[in-house]
Every structure is written in C-alpha cells, then in structure tokens.
Chains A and B, each alone.
Chain A
Amino acid sequence: MPQNLISATATAVFIVGPLLAILINNLLPRTLAQKICLKVGIAATLLQIAAVCSCVWLFFANSSYHISFSVFWNMSAQPGAARFYVDFLSLTVMLAIGLVSLVSLLTANESIKDKALNFSNLLMICMIGMNGLVMVNDLFSLYIFLEITGIAAFVLIALLREERGLEGAFKYLAMSAIASVFLLASLALIFMETGDLHFANVAALLSSPAQASQPLLLMIASLFFITAFSIKAAMVPFHGWLPDAYQSAPAAVSVLLGGIVTKAAGVYAIIRVLSGAFSGVLAGVFSHVQNVHVVFAILGLVSILYGAIAAIGQRDMKRMLAYSSISQMGYIVLGAATGSVIGLVGAALHFFNHATFKGTLFVNAAALEKQTGSTDLEVLPCGLQARMPLTAISSMLAFFSTAGIPPLAGFWSKFLIILAVWQSGSPLMAGLALLASIITAAYFLRIQRKVFFGQPDDSSNEITEVKGSLALAEWLLSIITVGCGLLFPALLLLMQSKGLF
C-alpha cells in the first residue's frame, strides 16, 4: 500500500478539505459566496464520504485494518509523537460525520439562507474538530480538537441570536467549560504520573496501577476523566444542558447536534478510552481499569432509563428527541462499557445508526416546523400523513429503528449491545435496557398517533409536503436506515471472516 500517498490524502480530505472550503467561501466576493457556500460545504462532505469508502476498500484489499500517519509535511515523525490514527471505528464515525454534516447542510438550504455563509464556515470548523478528535491518539490533541468542536457548536446554537438560542448556547458553553476544566486537570495528573499523554503509553501504566508512584492521583485523574466525558456526552446526571441546546438551536444545527456532535465529542471519546477497538493496536487508555468500566456501565443504564422515561412527558418534538438521544447514547456507553468485542461492535454500529435515525427525526422536525410553524405536539395539526406522506413514512421508519424493531438498522446494534451485557453476567441490566427499548416505542408511537395518524383536521388543509433539499435528506436517511438493516448481517459476517473481531 502506498502509505505516504494514503496518509497525505487522508490528512488532506479529513482536515485540510474543510479548511479549503472555508478559504474558498471567504475569498470569493460576498454575494457569490452567499450563493455557493452551502454547495462548497456539500462538496466537502461528499468528499469525506468518498474518502471513507475508499479507505474501507483499501483496508479490505490490503488486509490491513488500521493506518497511522503524520501530517503531510512530515511523514517520518518520531514514534510516540502525536499522530493521526485511523481504524474501522474511526472510519465508522467519520462516515457518520460526513453524512450528518451533509444532511445538516441540506436542511440549512431550506431554513437559514440569510446566515448560510456563517453556518457553512462554522460547520466546516466543527467537522475539522470532530475529524481530528476521531483520528488522534494523544490525549492533549484530543482535548484541543474537543475544544474546537465545542466552540463551533456553541456559536452555531447562537447563530440566529434569538433569546432562546443564546440561552441554550450559554448553558452548553458553561457545561462545556466545566468539562474542559475536569479534563485538563485529569490530563495534568496523568502527565505528572506518566510523563506522556500518548494513548498506548498511558494505557500501559494504567494496566498496572499498583506500580504507579502515586495511585491516589491516578484515581483522581480517572474520576475527573469520567466526569468530563459524562458532561460532554450528556450522561445522566450531567444532561441538563442538552434538551435546552437541542430545542433552542436552529433546525439545521439541531440535526448536527443531535446527529453527531454530542456523540463525537463525548461518546466516541468514551468508547476510545475504554477499549483498544477493533484492531487492538490503539490501546484504550482505561481498557484495563475495571472500576471505570463499571461506572460507565451504571451511567449508561441510568441514562437509558431516565432518557426514555423523561421523553414520554415532553410536548415539544425537538425536546422529546433530545431526551431520546440521552437514552440512545446510554446504549452506546453501556455497550462500550462491557469491554467485550460484541459490545464494542454493537456500540460502534449504534453510533452510526443513531446518527442516521436521529438525523432523520430532526430533519422531520425541521420539515414540520417549516410547513406548520411549530414543533409543539399540542399545537401541531392531526392527520398529517395525508398531507406529508414522505415525512410520515420516514418518521415511522426512524422511530421503528430507534425502538429496535427488526429488520431495521437499530435492531442489530441494540441486539448486539443487549447480548453483550447479558454475556458479561448482568442479566438485570440487559433486561432493563430491553425494557427501555419498549418505552422508546411507546413515546414514539404517541408522536405518530398525535401528528401523523388519524383524520386530518381543517387546520391542515393548507399544509403540503416539503420539497427540495429537505425531501432529499429524508429520502437519503430513510434509504440508509432500511439498507443498513438489511446489509448489517452480511457486513458483520464479512468482518468476522476477515478476523476483525
């Protein structure tokens, strides 16, 4: 495999590509840039999706399932230096990043045309942040890319500068700052103990904490680390900022936040530090620390149950989806916390699935808001299935996938996660996770029954189906949800036959 060529291309596409899009948008005359900025962004996201697919093909073609590389101006960086690292887990997440960013841009095309240039610039920065934190193998670089993602997301929420948006953005900023303080403190303590922040070196030390000169400091570092990423991932009880941020953000930003940002900035980091992932080359920082696994498993289960129960009582659709996201992110963390290969595969698949079905639901919320002017379930007219058939069908598919109904994509990932929890010797946890899945079906059926099913009332006479880029986004995500559901068994068998797990 031409290692240098692939490394240069990967850096160019995943980091420099979005930077180039920002450059193009801002060098063009403002009127022209306003017209084409979303298209430039769409090109960058399509390029990312194509690059991920190419990497997967190259991995299978060469039977080499990970690649470590430096920035293109210095390929021969020293071993142990901060480098980029890509394996199947990172590729899965980067595919989700590309896909959700694409859908967010399509949604923005219909909803925030007058702020399109700022939106596109900030989205590209957010992409750089997420791509970076997915590819790094050094804790300090992880922190910097987390901050980039956080700053871009915070400004995106406040993009329209409405009172609600500013309030949501402030809550997000405040919680994010607290998480950053905990994370930095944790990194400082780890560095004091190990003199290094490279994943593998820290993991080697933590695998035998008894040999550490100051085990108490390591314990405090672990505690700070758990707190920081629990805030970023909005795990219960650190979830307070998430419903306000999702509800108050513009529709296109809600798609981005709900689809990928919270997961990439919080949940991905948890998966990465809990496990060596598929290849086993990139060691998980806390993969040998049993207590950290247990704490995350409990946080995951509490989030699953609390998110599902709290979602039932919500009357705003975006707020309900926010609580549903807390519940679904709990599943991902629970799967990763098992530490088993099945649990990790389930977590990675659920990560991707959640990006698609939650992306669909937020696009549906944007469509309803555009056509009816509200996302309040008490205000929305009944029987919209006849007026908005595409939105109704895509919404139903996404709901079923979220609830884990076979053969949709969500079923396979939830099945693997619950199986892994059962096999790890926790049948009670597995049972509770299954119960929450039934609750999920219940609150989603409430939306379907209230908004889409039933006889159309007079107030819905003027309402029509969305067209253009919103309809395209609904089609695209629905096809992926169904397609992945049908293809996952074959994909899992292929990965197993290649010895990936």
Chain B
Amino acid sequence: MQTFFILLCLALMICSAAAVMMFRSLIKATVCLAITSVLISIVLFLLGAYWAALFELSVCAGLITVVFISTISFFSKERRSEEQERDHHSRFRLLPYLMVVCGLALLALLVLSGFSMQSIPALPPAFAEFKQILWSNRQVDILAQIALILAGSFAVIVLFKEINTNDENKGA
C-alpha cells in the first residue's frame, strides 16, 4: 500500500513539474512548483527520511515559494494576450507525452535492473541524529549553503535590481 502511495505521489509530482513548464503565468508556475515540493516531502516522509521531508517542506515549498512570489510581485508587469497564451501552450503540447515516454522507459529500466524499494539501504544508526548529521557529518555543507544563498542573492541583485531601477527611470 505504501509503495502505491509513493508511486502515486511521484506521478502527481511529475504532472505538477510539467505544469510548471506549461503555465505562462509565473504565479501559477510558482504554485505548481510548491505543490511539487510538497509531494516530494510526502515521498521523503513515506520513505522514512523525516528530516529531509521537513527541510523540503519548509525551505523548498515554503521559503522558496515566498521568495519567488515576492520577486515576481516586484518585477513582473507583463500582461499577455490570449493569443500569446495559446502560442505558449502549443509550444509545450508535446511535453506531457514526452514525459510519459521517459517515465515508462525509466520504469522499464528499473524493472530490468531488479530494483525494489527494499534495496534502498537504511541509514546507519550513527547517522540517525539530526544534530550529529548537521554539525558533525555535513558541516562542510553548512559553509557551502551560506555561499549558495549569497550567490543567489547577488544573482538577483545583478540581474533584476538594476533592471527595475532602469524601468522606474524610464517611467519618470
């Protein structure tokens, strides 16, 4: 039964990920992205990776969505006509079929390789404590996360902040 739920969530996750690509509206795409993250969190929770599920839910589904929507509300002034919307949908009309074909191919590959959920190794007991994982085993990644957040922040500043300033100047 659990395997069925996991597969169901994965299928829904693929659909919502495809919807991210297909929506022209950035807000709608962001909401679909958040749904994708929520579904990943459920899969992680079902597989027993509680801390990963928690982080996926809080950071990817929560924080990232808030940042995206804030950024879009600051910068997005674009309005599309219905014709442009139709054009956009027609460009991505093959995407769902392509994803189904890829999904079936991957499934076939997994079946051929003898994959089963039981083959995933359990985390060793020594790694079970979250505090220990974060501060003792993955401490290098904490520094990396700081740098990653800085990289993202400067990317937004360089690529978007000054565009906004220029737009305001033109408006004046």
Residues of chain A having any CB pair with chain B under 8 Å: 15-16, 19, 22, 70-71, 73-74, 77-78, 80-84, 118, 121-122, 125, 128-129, 132, 136, 138, 140-141, 144-145, 147-148, 151-152, 154-155, 158-159, 161, 192, 194-195, 213-214, 216-217, 220
Residue B7 is within 8 A (CB to CB) of chain A in the complex: no
- The distance in angstroms between the C-alpha atoms of A159 and B161, with both chains bound, is 12
B116, closest chain A residue (CB): A214
From B33-41, B89-97, B141-149, the one touching the partner chain is B141-149
B144, closest chain A residue (CB): A144
Contact A155 B148 (CB under 8 A): no
Contact B159 A161 (CB under 8 A): yes
Our pick among B126, B139, B154 for the contact of A82 (Cβ within 8 Å) is B139
Contact B140 A155 (CB under 8 A): no
Give the number of residues in B that approach A within 8 Å (Cβ atoms).
36
Contact A125 B141 (CB under 8 A): no
B123, closest chain A residue (CB): A195
If the complex has contacts A141-B140, A192-B119, A217-B115, are A158 and B158 also in contact, measured as CB distance less than 8 A?
Answer: yes
Contact B139 A71 (CB under 8 A): yes
Our pick among B119, B140, B158, B162 for the contact of A122 (Cβ within 8 Å) is B158
- The distance in angstroms between the C-alpha atoms of A118 and B155, with both chains bound, is 9
Contact B148 A151 (CB under 8 A): yes
Residues of chain B having any CB pair with chain A under 8 Å: 109, 112-115, 119-121, 123-124, 126, 132, 135-148, 150-152, 154-155, 157-159, 162-163
If the complex has contacts A152-B151, A158-B159, are A213 and B119 also in contact, measured as CB distance less than 8 A?
Answer: yes
A122 to chain B, nearest CB (A): 6
- The distance in angstroms between the C-alpha atoms of A70 and B140, with both chains bound, is 7
A-B contact pairs, 29 of them (CB 8 A): A19-B150, A70-B140, A71-B140, A71-B142, A74-B135, A74-B136, A74-B139, A78-B136, A81-B138, A82-B137, A82-B139, A82-B141, A118-B154, A122-B154, A129-B151, A132-B144, A140-B141, A144-B141, A144-B144, A147-B148, A148-B148, A152-B151, A154-B155, A161-B159, A161-B162, A194-B121, A214-B113, A214-B114, A217-B115
A132, closest chain B residue (CB): B144
Q: Which residues of B contact A214 (CB under 8 A)?
A: 113-115, 119
